[in-house]
C-alpha cells in the first residue's frame, strides 16, 4: 500500500469514534474468520442458512414471475442439452416403462440413463422411449465395486446385502430377489447418487444440465426449459427442493435434483480425491442426496435455494398450492409409484401447450376456480388443507364452520385454505391449498378472494 493509501486510512481512523473502531475491527475479524473457514464448515453453513431464510422470506412477501418471460440469455434445447438420470431398484423396476412412457408423452426425448442396484437381466437389457430412442441401463453399484471405488469396504454389511441381491438375481431366484429388493432398497439407494452422476458424466454426451430423479417422479419439460434458459450452465449450479437444517442442507431427491455441466466437471475432473472419499463414505450414508450435498460443499458448491418454489415433492392430489408460488411453473410431481397414477399424470400433461403453473394444476384437474369458492365458500365432507405441519395455525373451540371461514377470511394474506372438524371444534388454517380430499363430517374451503387476487397478477408468455 502506498503513502497515499496509508494516509487515507489514518485520516479515516482519526474520524471514527472508539465504538466505531471496535465495530469495524469486529466486522473485519468476522470476515477473516469466515473467509478462512472450511467450505463445508459450520460457520459458513450457518451464514448460508440465515441468508436463505432471509431470501425465502423476501420472496414469499414479494413473489415475482415476470423475469421468467424476459429474453433468455442461455436458451436451450431440452432434448439435446439435458441429460436425465433415473434411479430405480429391484423392488421398483416395474415403474420404469411407465415413467419413460410418461416422459415420452410430453415429447421429452432427452438422453436418459437408468441406474439401478442389481445386475441387468436379459429381458431388461434396454428400454426405449416411444420415439425408439434407446435408454442405457447400468448396475451402478456393481460398476462402482468393479472399478475399485469401494476398495476396503467390501466387508461391510451394506455391500454384503447388495451382493446377496445380485446373486439372487443372477440365479433367477425371483421370489428371494423381490423380498431382498424391497427390504434393502433404501439402503442401496443411498449409494447411487455420486457414482450415477459420474457414470453419466463419463458416458453420456456432455450436457449443459443434468437432472436426477426417482422412478416415481415426473418432470415437466417446459418448466425445465423456461427456468434453465435463464441460468448460465458454464457456472456451477445445484438446484432442488431444500430440506434439512443448516448443518446439512440438501435437496429432496424425490423432487428431482438439477446440476449444471460445470458442477459435474468441477467435481469429477478437478476434485477426484473428494469423490473418492465420498464413495468410501457411501456404505454408511443414510441419505444419498445429503451425501451428494456435503460432498459438493467441500468444493464450494452449495444448494441454491433461490428457485426452491419451482420444485414439488408430492403427487398431484396432495400437492400444496402455496400462495407465494401460484404464478410460477411447477417442476413436476413425486410419489407416482402406483401404475395408474403415473399413467394418469402422463396423459394429463401430454403435449403441454405452454408452462404449467402451480395455479393451473387445479384447473387441469377440474377443481372449481376461485370465483366459485367466493360464491360457495363452505364445502361439506371435503378437506382442502391436507397434511398438517408446523405451518398450520390451529384454532380451538370454534363453534361453527362459518366461524372458521370468517377466521380465514380475517387472515386474508396468509390463509389459503381452511378445514373445520365439528367433532373437536377445531379450525385449521394453512398458507396453501390442495386440490381437495374427501373427509366425512368435516367442512372446508379455499380462500377464493386471495387466490383470485394472486393469479390476476401473474405474467405469462408474450
Residues 85 and 227 occupy one common structural domain: yes
Which is nearest to 442 in space by CA: 462, 461, 428?
428
Domain count, the chain: 3
Judged against a pLDDT cut of 90, whether residue 139 lies above it is answered with yes
| pLDDT confidence bin for 354, thresholds 50/70/90 | confident
- 391 in a structural domain: yes
Model pLDDT, residue 37 = 59
- 52 in a structural domain: yes
- 323 in a structural domain: no
- Quick one: three-class SS letters along 40-55? CCHHHHHHHHHHHHHH
Residues 178 and 252 occupy one common structural domain: yes
Model pLDDT, residue 38 = 66
Residues 137 and 286 occupy one common structural domain: yes
| pLDDT confidence bin for 352, thresholds 50/70/90 | confident
| pLDDT confidence bin for 23, thresholds 50/70/90 | low
Judged against a pLDDT cut of 80, whether residue 14 lies above it is answered with no
More confident residue, 142 or 35: 142
199 and 113 in contact (C-beta within 8 Å)?
yes
Model pLDDT, residue 113 = 97
Q: What letter would DSSP give residue 304?
A: B
84 and 200 in contact (C-beta within 8 Å)?
no
Model pLDDT, residue 403 = 98
Residues 182 and 278 occupy one common structural domain: yes
| pLDDT confidence bin for 56, thresholds 50/70/90 | confident
Residues 144 and 291 occupy one common structural domain: yes
- Give the cell for residue 119: 445386475
The parent domain of residue 219 ranges over: 78-310
- 362 in a structural domain: no
Model pLDDT, residue 258 = 98
**Which pLDDT tens digit goes with each residue over 371-421?**
999 999 999 999 999 999 999 999 999 999 999 999 999 987 889 999 999
- 359 in a structural domain: no
Judged against a pLDDT cut of 80, whether residue 122 lies above it is answered with no
pTM of the model: 0.90
Average pLDDT over residues 410-438: 95
Residues 376 and 292 occupy one common structural domain: no
Buried/exposed 90-111: b ≥16 CB within 10 Å, e otherwise: bbbbebbebbbbbbbbbebbbb
Average pLDDT over residues 104-116: 94
Residues 109 and 226 occupy one common structural domain: yes
Question: How far is C-alpha 394 from the chain's CA centre?
Answer: 28
Instruction: Concatenate the DSSP letters of all residues of 202-255 into one string.
Output: HHSPP-SEEEEEETT-EE-HHHHHHHHTTS-TTS--EE--EES-TTS-EE-GGG
Average pLDDT over residues 140-167: 97
pLDDT over 70, % of the chain:
90
Judged against a pLDDT cut of 50, whether residue 279 lies above it is answered with yes
Residues 118 and 252 occupy one common structural domain: yes
Secondary structure (3-state) at 446: strand
For residue 439, give the CATH number of its domain: 3.50.4.10
Average pLDDT over residues 352-362: 88
Model pLDDT, residue 3 = 45
**Which pLDDT tens digit goes with each residue over 172-204?**
999 999 999 999 999 999 999 999 999 999 999
- 326 in a structural domain: no
**Which pLDDT tens digit goes with each residue over 224-269?**
999 999 999 999 999 999 998 776 789 999 999 999 999 999 999 9
Secondary structure (3-state) at 81: helix
Residues 457 and 406 occupy one common structural domain: yes
User: How does the average pLDDT of the chain come out, rounded?
Assistant: 91
Residues 6+ apart with CB under 8 A from 418: 384, 385, 404, 405, 407, 408, 427, 428, 429, 430, 444, 445, 447
Which is nearest to 140 in space by CA: 114, 168, 164?
114
- Give the cell for residue 111: 438422453
Residues 6+ apart with CB under 8 A from 6: none
Q: How big is the CA angle at 270 (ends 265 and 276), to the nearest 5 degrees?
A: 100
Model pLDDT, residue 63 = 84
The span from the CA of 323 to the CA of 454, in Å, is 7
Residues 126 and 268 occupy one common structural domain: yes
Amino acid at each position: 500500500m502506498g503513502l497515499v493509501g496509508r494516509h487515507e486510512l489514518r485520516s479515516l481512523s482519526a474520524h471514527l469514534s472508539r465504538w466505531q473502531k471496535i465495530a469495524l475491527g469486529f466486522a473485519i475479524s468476522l470476515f477473516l474468520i469466515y473467509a478462512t473457514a472450511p467450505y463445508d464448515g459450520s460457520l459458513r453453513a450457518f451464514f448460508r442458512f440465515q441468508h436463505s431464510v432471509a431470501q425465502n422470506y423476501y420472496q414469499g412477501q414479494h413473489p415475482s414471475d415476470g423475469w421468467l418471460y424476459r429474453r433468455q440469455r442461455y436458451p436451450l434445447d431440452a432434448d439435446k442439452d439435458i441429460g436425465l438420470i433415473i434411479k430405480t431398484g429391484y423392488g421398483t423396476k416395474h415403474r420404469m416403462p411407465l415413467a419413460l412412457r410418461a416422459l415420452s408423452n410430453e415429447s421429452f426425448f432427452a438422453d436418459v440413463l437408468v441406474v439401478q442396484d442389481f445386475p441387468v437381466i436379459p429381458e431388461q437389457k434396454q428400454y426405449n422411449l416411444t420415439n425408439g430412442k434407446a435408454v442405457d441401463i447400468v448396475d451402478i453399484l456393481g460398476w462402482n465395486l468393479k472399478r475399485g471405488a469401494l476398495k476396503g469396504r467390501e466387508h461391510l454389511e451394506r455391500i454384503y446385502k447388495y451382493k446377496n441381491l445380485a446373486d439372487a438375481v443372477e440365479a433367477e431366484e425371483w421370489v428371494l430377489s423381490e423380498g431382498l429388493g424391497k427390504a434393502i432398497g433404501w439402503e442401496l439407494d443411498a449409494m447411487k447418487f455420486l457414482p450415477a452422476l459420474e457414470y453419466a458424466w463419463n458416458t453420456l454426451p456432455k450436457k449443459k444440465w443434468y437432472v436426477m430423479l426417482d422412478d416415481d417422479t415426473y418432470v415437466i419439460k417446459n418448466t425445465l426449459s423456461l427456468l434453465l434458459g435463464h441460468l448460465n450452465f458454464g457456472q456451477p449450479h445445484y438446484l432442488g427442493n431444500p430440506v434439512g437444517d443448516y448443518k446439512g442442507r440438501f435437496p429432496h431427491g424425490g423432487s428431482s435434483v438439477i446440476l449444471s455441466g460445470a458442477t459435474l466437471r468441477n467435481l469429477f475432473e478437478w476434485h477426484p480425491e473428494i469423490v473418492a472419499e465420498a464413495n468410501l463414505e457411501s456404505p454408511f450414508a443414510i441419505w444419498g442426496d445429503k451425501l451428494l450435498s456435503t460432498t459438493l460443499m467441500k468444493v464450494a458448491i452449495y444448494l441454491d435455494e433461490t428457485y426452491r418454489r419451482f420444485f414439488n415433492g408430492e403427487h398431484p392430489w396432495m400437492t400444496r398450492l402455496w400462495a407465494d408460488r401460484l404464478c410460477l411453473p411447477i417442476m413436476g410431481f413425486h410419489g407416482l409409484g402406483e401404475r395408474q397414477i403415473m399413467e394418469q399424470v402422463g396423459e394429463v400433461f401430454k403435449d403441454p401447450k405452454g408452462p404449467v403453473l402451480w395455479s393451473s394444476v387445479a384447473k387441469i384437474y377440474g377443481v372449481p376456480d376461485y370465483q366459485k369458492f367466493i360464491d360457495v365458500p363452505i364445502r361439506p365432507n371435503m378437506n382442502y388443507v391436507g397434511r398438517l405441519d408446523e405451518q398450520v395455525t390451529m384454532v380451538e373451540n370454534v363453534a361453527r364452520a362459518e366461524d372458521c371461514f370468517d377466521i380465514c377470511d380475517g387472515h386474508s394474506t396468509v390463509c389459503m385454505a381452511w378445514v373445520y372438524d365439528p367433532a373437536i371444534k377445531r379450525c385449521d388454517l394453512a398458507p396453501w391449498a390442495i386440490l381437495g380430499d374427501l373427509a366425512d363430517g368435516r367442512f372446508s374451503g379455499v380462500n377464493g378472494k386471495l387466490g383470485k387476487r394472486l393469479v390476476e397478477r401473474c405474467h405469462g408468455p408474450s
